[in-house]
Structure 1
């Protein structure tokens, strides 16, 4: 509703008032509400998160930005504890981690390179966190890739399930 003298409705009057209060920012030239303390718009006035300064890497000694554990990114990518850290993070994320997960993570870290093991742990985490059942045979079926090669993760799961079956059949005899 508006009065006979008003040319704009209430919502349009409010919007026109807000647009009239905006001024071009001297820093970015976009229209905005200039702050009293800086004289700039809100976007330009916010403090940016600063990057941590480069420092000497504990692994190679070069002065670089750090990725983790005091190491630069190349040294962190090769760090032998990285698969175990990824496995601990996966175990902490899962509500009910399977009892065989620790042995599988140890096997992954021993058999594959650091980067490949971490990639496979991420893939395993996606499989364990989906809505499907998490017993080893179901995981194996979901981990298989179509085509000639079933994939490294599926091959490792298949080795574990066949070893478990052999142990059960051996104990029955």
Structure 2
């Protein structure tokens, strides 16, 4: 079976390919589908999705709910991890530390970023995550902690 990253590279080269990949990605991890995520980018050390400001993602004040934002952050991290995890290894999330910094009153661009050094420090890998409004304001920022180990 092709890797998630190989599938992304193949599909993203096609018209509507990212949309197709996004549908497959949320089918593999159905909870991500609940936030109606849109996959923007996937490559080693970077993942990016958009969480839309829509009624199903809103809280009582009409902004993107904090948990929908965290859902987007975890999806971005998952894309990054699938593209970055060394061959013969697996990754599992261990925890998430986030701070809510501002109202999320537009679509959110959720990004996850690492570097080579953070993956060489394993088995603990810290992934920096951030959700940004359309005006560039960071609304959620934090770290997702991964456990990266050899496959058995």
Shorter chain as denominator, the TM-score bin is under 0.3
TM-score (norm 2): 0.27
Of Structure 1 and Structure 2, the greater helix share is in 1
